[in-house]
Amino acid sequence: METKKKRISERPVTGRAPGPPWGASIRAWLDERGLTQAELARDAGLDPGTVGHVVRGGHCTTETLAKIAQALDIELVDLLAAPGEIKSLGDRRDRLVVTVLKELSEDAANAVMHAIARRRQDRVRSRLDAARRLPFNED
């Protein structure tokens, strides 16, 4: 009984993390705007190969995504949401922060994430304090 090794392309894909969300988002924006990847590349001042790579969900810099967003006349955070997904301003801001943090050093990223968590805790505390105030206790 002879066993053959499977080629990499024949192996089942399991446990694979989903790619970045911007590929599907850019495709949706291109469809909505009636643009081709080549037109987007021209408008963004990027190489068509780079745009193709990004549209397929490939990794790129925030600067590249910013150029694409500007060419599509949308906000950068709109590329980070699934197509058609409506997010609050806070969620959009948080997605943008996470993307930028991925390009920072680990120490800087941890410091910023800690500051964000502390700010959220402060907001929750202030809401709870406001809810606990009784109308007859006011000075």
Handedness of CA 85, 119, 102, 48 (dihedral sign): positive
Cβ-contact 83, 24 below 8 angstroms: yes
Q: What is the pLDDT of residue 8?
A: 47
Q: From first to last of its 139 residues, what are the pLDDT tens digits of the chain?
A: 555 554 444 545 555 455 677 888 898 889 888 899 999 999 999 999 999 999 998 888 889 999 999 999 888 877 877 665 645 556 667 767 776 766 666 677 678 778 888 888 887 787 777 767 666 655 5
Proportion of the chain in helix, strand, coil states, percent, rounded to 5 = 65, 0, 35
Is 58 part of a structural domain of the chain?
A: yes
Residue 33 resides in a domain: yes
Q: Is residue 27 part of a domain?
A: yes
Please report, for the domain that includes residue 54, its CATH number. Answer: 1.10.260.40
Q: What is the pLDDT of residue 9?
A: 45
Q: Is there a domain that residue 48 lies in? A: yes
Domain containing 32: what range?
22-84
Is 101 part of any domain?
Answer: no
Residues 6+ apart with CB under 8 A from 112: 97, 101, 104
Indicate the pTM of the whole model: 0.52
Helix or strand or coil: residue 109?
A: helix
Q: Total structural domains in the chain?
A: 1
